[in-house]
């Protein structure tokens, strides 16, 4: 199975901060990779697909980048509604695997 190592596992930041979350894959993924946001008690929502494409309706302060085995999600200027848990997902190889999550909290 492809292992997805996500870091950090938690992060405290302030409104207006720039934040970066990283996922490293145990093998190359091509562009079969995305980022998800989940708020408490809600279903996940995809923010980014194929590494860097923004899902419809997702604010432009979110961006994804990377290639091969290392991928990043950047939030350029944190807003109050961005405090949530973020997950990466590889769907290059079965079984699909999620990162363990990054909980983004208000400082």
Interface residues toward another protein, by CB under 8 A: 1, 32, 34, 36, 38, 43-46, 49, 55, 87, 89, 91, 94-101
Decide if 40 contacts 49 (C-beta within 8 A): no
Rounded Cα–Cα distance for residues 23 and 47 (Å): 15
Q: How many residues does the chain have?
A: 107
As measured in angstroms, the least distance from the Cβ of 95 to another protein is 4
Decide if 4 contacts 25 (C-beta within 8 A): yes
As measured in angstroms, the least distance from the Cβ of 38 to another protein is 7
Q: Which of residues 43 and 80 has its CB atom nearest to another protein in the complex?
A: 43
Q: Which of residues 24 and 46 has its CB atom nearest to another protein in the complex?
A: 46
């Amino acid at each position: 199975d492809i292992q997805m190592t996500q870091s950090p596992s938690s992060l405290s930041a302030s409104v207006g901060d720039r934040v970066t979350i990283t996922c490293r894959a145990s093998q190359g993924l091509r562009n079969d990779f995305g980022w998800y946001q989940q708020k408490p008690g809600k279903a996940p929502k995809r923010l980014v697909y194929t590494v860097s494409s923004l899902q419809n309706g997702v604010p432009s302060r979110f961006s994804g980048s990377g290639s091969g085995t290392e991928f990043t999600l950047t939030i350029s200027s944190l807003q109050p509604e961005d405090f949530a848990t973020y997950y990466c997902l590889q769907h290059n190889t079965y079984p699909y695997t999620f990162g363990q999550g990054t909980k983004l909290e208000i400082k």
